[in-house]
Amino acid sequence: MQTSADGKKLFRSSLIVLSVLAGTTALVAPVRPAFALSELKHQPGETPQKPAEEADKAAPVEKEQQPEDASPLELPMPDPLIRKGETVTEPAGEEPVVTDDKPDEPLTPVEVLYDISKAPEAVRRMRQLIVEAAASGDIERLRPLLGKGVTETQVSIVETEEGPVETLKGQSGDSDGIEVLAILLDVLATGFVHVGQGTPDEMYVWPYFAEKPLAGLTPPEKVELLRIVTAGDFTDMQEFGSYNFYRIGITPDGQWKFFVTGD
């Protein structure tokens, strides 16, 4: 017959066994895997998130970048629409357009003469008579040399009813025409050129600057020019494009053809 003390011992032993069994069960229970936030059940109204791999696949494909060593595409420059001296073909019914530009023509060399003996005798005589009349200081001494009618010397590029002597006086800076006489001497003291050989316009012309491009003048020739005109006049001539001061022309037969200023 068991006593109460034995029953208490039996009860305690049973509790110990149950506790041991419960701990063993807890140790051997399977561990549930942890879920990612994206795998958890979403609440109503939330947008489900896709796994990272699926998001990468769904992302738009960006434009393929060029390799770093690839050079940029270079396009050739277009040809000029209109070339110098070229006729442009227009569509039917329109007039062709021709450019005004022309190739630069080479400058014709000019032979400058200083030896008056190379001119015909009639030219040398007329030149000497003009020099003597101008050196006298009396402009009236030019009158018989200037001719009359069809042989009258041209002294102005503008038509006038006055006689040549009166016209020259009007061009002079003084009332007696002394300045014009001085210009005559200065011009005839320079070199000259022979132009128009074999034509009706054959002439011996002073100064040679009238027939030579100013851009081709040498330093000594510029000095010779500045004995006739001022530096300001020379600058104006360069802008104008040619010599435009007084010039003298004598035909091979000794006729004093012109003494004019201007182009």
Higher pLDDT, 56 or 232: 232
- Per-residue pLDDT, averaged over 106-124, amounts to 87
In this prediction the pTM is 0.60
- The answer, yes or no, to whether residue 103 has pLDDT greater than 50, is no
- Per-residue pLDDT, averaged over 161-178, amounts to 94
- Per-residue pLDDT, averaged over 203-224, amounts to 95
Split at pLDDT 50, 70, 90, the class of 231 is very high
- The answer, yes or no, to whether residue 20 has pLDDT greater than 90, is no
Split at pLDDT 50, 70, 90, the class of 196 is very high
CA atoms within 13 A on the CB side of 72: 3
**In Å, how far are 56, 73, 114, 129, 255 from 145, measured between CA atoms?**
110, 79, 23, 8, 9
Bridge partners (DSSP) of residue 249 are: 205, 258
Q: Judge whether 65 and 74 are in contact, CB under 8 Å.
A: no
